[in-house]
Amino acid sequence: MFVLPPPPRYPTQAAYNAAVAAGHAAPMIETNNILSNPEDQFLAGEGTYVLKEDLLLATPPPHPSEAPVVNPNPLATTPQPETAGTKLSLVRLDVRAPPPVFNKFTSATTLSSSIAEHPSEGRYSSDAKFSSDGSFRGTSLSEAGQSPSGPSNSTTAASAPAFGDGNPLVAPEKTKDPNKRRKPKNNMTKSNSSFISRVIMNETFSKRLSDHPSDGLFAFANINRAFQWLDLSSATKADYLTKILFTKAHCLCHDVNLVTKSVSHIDMIMGFSTGEIIWWEPMSQRYTRLNKNGVINKTPVSQIKWIPGAENLFMAAHMDGSLVVYDKEKEDAIFNPEEEEPRVSVDTVKDLSKEFHVVKSVQSKNQKHNPVAIWKLSNQRINSFDFSPDNRYLAVVSEDGTFRTVDYLKEDVGEDCRLCLWDFNVGMVHTPKGAPVRLRGGDALQRSETQGTSASRLRSGSQASATEGKESNPIIHPVQSRARTAIIPPVLTKLADKDPLNWVTFTHDSIMTSSDKGRIRTWTRPSDSTTQA
């Protein structure tokens, strides 16, 4: 039997570009992932963290139809595809109890409204979802894996209302079997789309899925124009389950729906440098392409997340400063703004509230096609966004340095450019010597103007109506200088990789990081026996 020799390995794109620029034959890029076990560790207060393994993802070369980059100069003005390094989405298919919800109560009213009167009334807000009949319901702790007879030991938070609550057109369609999930339309492995270059499946795909433990960890990772599905609980974790190579688009972000996941179904969404979005179900290898050819928004997707508790709805941040809500099961249509609010330019004081523009409301009656909602926050790129623990607010960070807190349930916005510190030991926070101390109730926060509905609107226990929230003035103040900003010293500083880090997460037994060049590292947490020793 004749076996071809392995291709030479060039882990960096620079080797490929240099060969093309010099007129030499373009080298092959390593097509297989590489798993190694280098020795490294660092000491923290709770013990020693040991580097368990190092997984280097294969970097795909440019597609043959794509003109190679002749000038690798990073200062060149030639437009390059948007990249985001390597990011991971982790998922376990077993049903686990939700993590403890930590709340810092500020008033007796908030405290009393957050404590369940009976153990069976406990709700976990991040698992709130629509039921099969279209009505909104929350997932109790017993449904999430906790024993129904045992009370919860952790503090629980009241369920937030569903996004679009009050508009039945946003609710998912009824199905005959509520336990059966809808699948995307197209077959990924047999696709003739020019968007997808190639799909490579593991030869023992079915066997590896059947051998996967119920508490095992799946990982989805992107690197340039490649997207991989990995089984991190397998001894051969370097061998991907599925590898998708796209033609020219780079996958920048992705997310897994934790509401709809099961042993036979995973809903994955991916955002691309072309602005397009793919809904992919890896078990059946089926997909649907959304925002095709940028029919709704042509700018790259910098961040994408499922809306907490929703089965169909997810939010994408585009690089033109827009937040767009999509429904994975709806078709796209050419979008025409329903109404344009006048923009007011203020020269002396920048009125940030004017920049929050509802292009299409979630309460709109025109919900036959995507998008479900569009909000224009600014003309600057949105770097990242995330939902608050109570699922009522949205934190958005833009490239212009602003931090926005959005009440996305009411489609309202508040501004706070101050460095906010949550859940830290107050003893760790100290202001620089010589800097005057100003209480939070000072003039900078304009407390006299926000004693009413504005302050109430920013609390998770707010009962203010949408009308009251829109009439109130947002909190706007400049960023404090570094000399006046409290300093939180790091407990530990560790050089985790030679390349810039793109992603970090914490599991029950390890810390995982990914770098700009596709290197995934797993650091084992110290065990009780090691700590005692």
Highest mean pLDDT: which range of 101-115, 240-254, 386-400, 434-448? 240-254
Of residues 255 and 431, more confidence is placed in 255
Q: What is the pLDDT of residue 476?
A: 62
Q: What is the pLDDT of residues 91-141, one digit of tens each?
A: 999 876 555 544 443 333 333 333 333 333 333 333 333 333 333 333 333
- Average pLDDT in the 234-257 region? 94
Q: How confident is the model at residue 406 (pLDDT cuts 50, 70, 90)?
A: confident
Q: What is the pLDDT of residue 425?
A: 60
Give percent above pLDDT 90 in the chain.
Answer: 34
Indicate the pTM of the whole model. 0.71
Residue 384 has pLDDT above 80, yes or no: yes
Q: What DSSP string describes 442-501?
A: SGGGTGGGSTTHHHHHTSTT----HHHHHHSPPP--PPPPGGGS-B---S------SS-E
Closest among 416, 436, 413 to 486, alpha carbons compared: 436
Beta strands 196-201; 186-187: pairing state: unpaired
Please, what is the average pLDDT of the chain? Answer: 73
Tell me how crowded residue 89 is: count the other CB atoms within 10 A of its CB. Answer: 20
Q: What is the pLDDT of residues 408-429, one digit of tens each?
A: 766 544 433 232 333 456 565 5
Closest among 358, 355, 359 to 398, alpha carbons compared: 355
Residue 358 has pLDDT above 80, yes or no: yes
Q: What is the pLDDT of residue 444?
A: 38
Q: What is the pLDDT of residues 460-488, one digit of tens each?
A: 333 444 444 444 455 666 667 777 777 66
Q: What is the pLDDT of residues 49-74, one digit of tens each?
A: 999 999 999 988 888 777 666 666 77
Q: What is the pLDDT of residue 136?
A: 34
Of residues 194 and 349, more confidence is placed in 194
Report CA-CA distances (Å) from 52 to 137, 238, 512.
42, 14, 10
Q: Where are the beta strands (DSSP E) in 141-267?
A: 186-187, 196-201, 218-223, 226-231, 242-246, 251-256
Q: Where are the domains of the chain?
A: 108-170
Q: What is the pLDDT of residues 296-308, one digit of tens each?
A: 999 999 999 999 9
- Ranges 125-139, 171-185, 288-302: which has the least confidence: 125-139
Q: What is the pLDDT of residue 29?
A: 56
Q: What is the pLDDT of residue 38?
A: 93
